[in-house]
Amino acid sequence: MAFTLTQLSALEEAIASGELSVQYDGKKVEYRSLDDLQKAYNMVRGSLLASGQLSDAGTNRGPSSLAIFSRD
């Protein structure tokens, strides 16, 4: 099954809003839990990354560091 960016966007919106139902292209899918919704999101995102339809640029920035300065 080929996934679309529209499906990924619908899943992102549902996760952000806390809704368990997702609508796209005239279809509606109801998930049992937020965990199921997040699993679906990860599956669709992974598929889109693997097919080259989605770029991982900017989402994997690698390690970061924090410097804290104080005057003693």
Give the phi and the psi of residue 20 in degrees, each rounded to 5: -100, 0
Q: How far apart are CA 9 and CA 43, in angstroms?
A: 13
* Residue 72 confidence (pLDDT): 67
16 is written with which tokens?
Answer: 């952000």
List per-residue pLDDT tens for the chain, 72 residues long.
689 999 999 999 999 999 999 999 899 999 999 999 999 999 999 999 999 998 876 555 555 566 677 786
Collect all residues with Cβ–Cβ distance below 8 Å to 49 and sequence separation of at least 6.
55, 56
Q: How far apart are CA 54 and CA 27, in angstroms?
A: 22
